[in-house]
Amino acid sequence: MAKFIFVSGGVISSLGKGITSASIGRLLESRGLKVSLMKFDPYINVDPGTMNPYQHGEVYVTEDGAETDLDLGHYERFTHATPAKCNNITTGQIYNAVITKERHGDYLGKTIQVIPHITNEIKERIRKVAQVSGADVIIAEIGGTVGDIESLPFLEAARQFGLDAGRDNVLYVHVTLVPYIKCAEEIKTKPTQHSVGTLREIGIQPDILICRTEKPLSNDLKEKISLFCNVRKEAVIEARDVESIYQIPLVFKEQILDEIILSHFKLICKLSDLKDWEKTVVERALCPKNKVTIALVGKYITLQDAYKSIYESLVHAGIANDTKVEVIKIDPEDIEKEGTKKALKDVSGILVPGGFGYRGIEGKIKAIKFARENKIPFLGLCLGMQCAVLEFARNACGLKEANSTEFKPKTRQPVISLLAEQGGVKDLGGTMRLGAYPCVIKKNTLAHKAYGRILVQERHRHRYEFNNKYRKLLEKKGMVFSGVYQKKDLVEMVELKNHPYFIAVQFHPEFKSRPDCAHPLFREFIKAALNKK
Ligand code: GLN
């Protein structure tokens, strides 16, 4: 039977529950266990796919085409688990399912209530993940902060789970803040006491506390937290701020968190020291030999979470090239106002990420022109590829009015147009071209050199595509169509000859990069940027 770990958060949000969950996953994997990670999101949206990035941050896309919370990205980057649709559940999904069953008459005339119907539906989803994944341990992260109204049904389901599966098979981890008050020069445990108090009111006694802190937690403080929160002292784990998120599994390992979890579950597992992770990821992330500066030209640069997987992929590519990648975030609207020179003159590479809508497009196109003409390594992702094609069509092929029908539905030169399958689509939620599709790579291209293969699977999230009507003309002018989804003849990758590194892709390689195995397109991008420098 699988074991279950529930991870909740207290005091404030953004304490790193996702990275905590992912790191616990990594620790347990290192002991030979198979893990699967889940995220519960308390909002009423069915998924984050329709949300504004400022509301939600990045939408992470799984192999099977679910639009999910960005924490699933952490799970995938830290562990070998491959999350799927069922690994991210929201209040919206749960209510949707329960109401559909009610309308169908499945509840045989009963009054439908949060307890037990909503909580049963949540528990059923957890059991399903256990069954489908065949994992030894399911780690379920509960979004929000303890005390929120929205997350109560999920916490209640977690409480009931302990009753159903037995306390030996269920473990509760609470991530909390232990703030340092500067003027008093003191670390305060009261917020943690209160948040554990709130958890206990709803029937959950945490087994482990992960204490986020700026300063070291003294023995006395750990004892105090232990006493007031009714948690064994060795299970009060210090999680001090670190330079790289990839250090966290090591920080936990030092405090024998893996042993504490295994002994709770009465599991005996092989020993491990996480040395490979330390050597191949952490040491290289912390002490790089070189440095490059990359410009990311995107609309949502003020929100750190909006391009999460892209930033992480750049870190991975840095690790692979023994290089610190400094990212300069550039608003394309500033380029529209002030031109490219000021913003881009000192960068060794330019990246244009995905996105939706016309705002900022002309600035992105200008940045791409600058990269093309000045031979600056360029990587375009999804919308970034569409912009690269528009730039080339307008400035190298004489198609002055080239546009995407997303921005100008009646354009006379629709070089980017709606995917055929999107014709009748009315609903916005979950209806894009989503998830992994195979892409065949042309031999002797940049893409071929980077991947070292001719067949790859990459993940998608888009409605528009390159319009094949323009392929011949663009090809004649020097654009190489290096990757295609053959079944529907969709262009997936374009690149330029006579340029050190100019490649743009319709998919999102950032979802498949790992700290110990950088995505080839990012790895080669940073390599080219280093050479440029
Ligand atoms: N807006 C574009 C499309 O829908 C690009 C999407 C994206 O960058 N994810 O095709």
List pLDDT tens digits, range 456-508.
999 999 999 999 999 999 999 999 999 999 999 999 999 999 999 999 999 99
Residue 464 Cβ contacting ligand 1 at under 6 Å: yes
Alpha helices by DSSP H, 412-519: 446-451, 471-476
Could you give the 3-state DSSP secondary structure of residue 467? coil
What's the number of CA atoms in the CB half-sphere (13 Å) around residue 134? 0
User: Which of ligand 1's atoms lies nearest the C-alpha of 355?
Assistant: 8
**180 has a pLDDT exceeding 90:** yes
Check residue 423 and give its pLDDT. 86
Out of 499, 510, 519, 524, pick the active-site residue: 510
The protein residue with its alpha carbon nearest to ligand 1, atom 1, reads 356
* Terminal-residue alpha carbon distance, the chain: 55
Residue 462 Cβ contacting ligand 1 at under 6 Å: yes
CA distance 527 to 321: 6
Q: Which CATH architecture has domain 3-279?
A: 3-Layer(aba) Sandwich (3.40)
Residue 442 Cβ contacting ligand 1 at under 6 Å: no
Residue 31 Cβ contacting ligand 1 at under 6 Å: no
Q: What is the mean pLDDT of the chain?
A: 96
Domain residue spans of the chain: 3-279, 289-532
Annotation marks residue 510 as catalytic: yes
CA distance 213 to 491: 48
Check residue 427 and give its pLDDT. 85
Q: What is the CATH number of domain 289-532?
A: 3.40.50.880
Check residue 421 and give its pLDDT. 87
**345 has a pLDDT exceeding 90:** no
Annotation marks residue 382 as catalytic: yes
CA of 229 to the centre of ligand 1 (A): 48
Residue 206 Cβ contacting ligand 1 at under 6 Å: no
Average pLDDT over every residue of 339-358: 93
376: which residues sit within 8 A by CB, 6+ positions away? 344, 347, 348, 349, 350, 370, 532
What are the DSSP E strand ranges found in 316-422?
323-330, 349-352, 378-381, 402-404, 413-418
Q: Which amino acid is at 230?
A: N
Cα–Cα distances (Å) from 8 to 167, 188, 233, 336, 457, in that order, read: 17, 20, 19, 44, 34
Check residue 273 and give its pLDDT. 83
pTM: 0.95
pLDDT tens sequence across 61-100: 999 999 999 999 999 999 999 999 999 999 999 999 999 9
Annotation marks residue 183 as catalytic: no
Q: Which of 297, 382, 419, 434 to mutate to test the pocket of ligand 1 (most atoms within 8 A of CB)?
A: 382
Check residue 456 and give its pLDDT. 98
The reply to whether 289-532 shares the fold of 3-279 is yes
Residue 356 Cβ contacting ligand 1 at under 6 Å: yes
The protein residue with its alpha carbon nearest to ligand 1, atom 6, reads 462
Per-residue pLDDT band for 34 (boundaries 50, 70, 90) equals very high
